[in-house]
Amino acid sequence: MSNDLVSRRDFLKTTSSVAAASALTAASIPSVHAAGGDTVQVALVGCGGRGTGAAGDALATQGGEVKLVAMADVLQTRLNNSFNNLANDKNFKDKVKVPDENKFIGFDAYKKAIDLLGKGDVVILTTPCGFRPIMFKYAIDKGVNVFMEKPVTVDGASSRKMLELNEEAKKKNIKVGVGLMVRHCKGRQALFERIKGGEIGDITSMRAYRIHPPVGSAFTEPRGPGEKSELVWQIKRFHSFIWASGGLFSDFYIHQIDEVCWMKDAWPVRAEAFGGRHYRGDFIDQNFDNYTVEYTFADETKYHYYGRHLIGCPSKFFSGVHGTKGSAVVSASGHTPGRVRTYKTQKMQNEKGELSSDGVIWEFPQPEPNPYRVEWQDLLDAIRDNKPYNEVERGVKASLVTSMGRMSAHTGQVITYDQILNSKHELGAGIDEMTSPDSAPPVKADEKGKYPVPEPGIKKDREY
């Protein structure tokens, strides 16, 4: 299982999985306890671009040796490509110690990879997030530290499961990092302190945009005769299926939703959203083409999020905060670097969409430390120093708030935080029974090869 179609980082290609599974070498790699610079062994579960990038970031950390010792996926070609990218990288090749017998394929491959690890080691979970609870549970049972990609959950049911599992992780002192790397960005950390200190006054409103042509979820070819497994076919195209990833809304928008809520230092209590499908043609997926969400906080402050994925329309990526004394840029053109700054006025961009040079109070010096690397350094430092480190609750809340906006758009209803948290509808129902490529996915195509799509106002209490 893995993430594909949209790479976690541009410099690493989306990748796939290689060959033969055997647990015979479980004894060939000794388990070590990371302390004072001892070796930390890493297993990668989900060998797409996101997982390959995370593994590279782990191997790039300082303070002690890190080795990649196992890999797991459901797709052989993806694991192959991931291994080759890492093993042939001059910065990592001496740290990639994955013999063929430690490359596992299949729906139980994650167990075999985790079984090779010991206390102080880390499993990287970068499969589509629908599988996160079952894999997190296995890692907890084995006492292994975890790094998991965002989003962490797709709905209220999976959020409740993850919070419950995390109580056991905390009892076992398992360190858990969540891939909301923006929280580790030094520039945004400084911006948060300045906003909290009153530099732009009281927050009056917030806004963010992610609009660009279709990517990741846009495909037109139905499953062909060579794609024997419907389940694997959907996993390969996880952005297109809400049960697997929360759709493009959860997978694309969570960073900006999380970072703006961070600047507010609160989570919204309700969401009212709109969206629709346009000019779909032969595209096969369950997403809308545009989303507009009004998030409301307990003090009635509003945060407006705008997402659009249409061909021929201008692109924009921006997150900003408005206050009674000024404004602040949280993201200017992408997740990293943030190019954060504060202004005396409300005008943060000029007519061309460029950051304004007028009225600047402060800006973080460039270049910024890479937050993808910083988040891994923070996690491994905590492991080696045996300090408490657990980002699960924050990751779950960010995922849940993101799903709250998506669910509002897809149902046409105002959705509250408590409502989605306690919702009994489970998008990935039966996911723990998906043990082989022949297992049935939660959704299936009709006779025309199309999948069910959200119907606002008709399906008022559930999504597909």
Express each pLDDT in 66-125 by its tens digit. 999 999 999 999 999 999 999 999 999 899 999 999 999 999 999 999 999 999 999 999
pLDDT value of position 223: 84
Determine contact, residues 248/287, Cβ cutoff 8 Å. yes
Confidence at residue 227, expressed as pLDDT on a 0 to 100 scale? 87
Residue tagged 């890492």 (tokens): 86
CA–CA separation, 132 vs 391, rounded Å?
14
CA distance 169 to 139: 9
Domain locations along the chain: 24-183, 186-365+391-464
pLDDT confidence of residue 225: 83
C-beta of residue 118 within 8 angstroms of C-beta of residue 105: no
pLDDT, tens digit, for every residue of 169-209? 999 999 999 999 999 999 999 999 999 999 999 999 999 99
Residue among 173, 105, 163 nearest 137 (CA): 163
Tell me the C-alpha distance between 303 and 388, whole Å. 32
Predicted pLDDT at 1: 42
**What's the pLDDT at 36?**
41
SS3 assignment, position 394: helix
Q: Which overall architecture, per CATH, does domain 186-365+391-464 show?
A: 2-Layer Sandwich (3.30)
Q: Give the side-chain half-sphere CA count within 13 A for 58.
A: 32
Please, are residues 247 and 394 in contact by the beta-carbon 8 Å criterion? Answer: no
d(CA 247, CA 257) in angstroms, rounded, equals 15
**What confidence tens digit (pLDDT) does each residue in 65-75 have?**
999 999 999 99
Instruction: Kindly tell me the sign of the dihedral angle through the C-alpha atoms of 64, 70, 72, 77.
Output: positive
Residues 6+ apart with CB under 8 A from 395: 148, 150, 151, 152, 178, 180
pLDDT for 219 equals 75
What residues contact residue 347 under an 8 Å CB cut-off, 6+ apart? Answer: 327, 356, 358, 359
What pLDDT is attached to residue 97?
A: 97
- The pLDDT of residue 17: 32
Superfamily of domain 24-183: NAD(P)-binding Rossmann-like Domain (3.40.50.720)
**pLDDT-flagged residues of the chain (< 50):** 1-37
Non-local CB neighbours of 461 within 8 Å, separated by 6+ positions: 411, 413, 425
Residue 463 pLDDT: 86
Residues 139, 115 contacting (CB under 8 angstroms): no
375, 60 Cβ separation under 8 angstroms: no
Maximum CA pair distance of the chain? Answer: 64
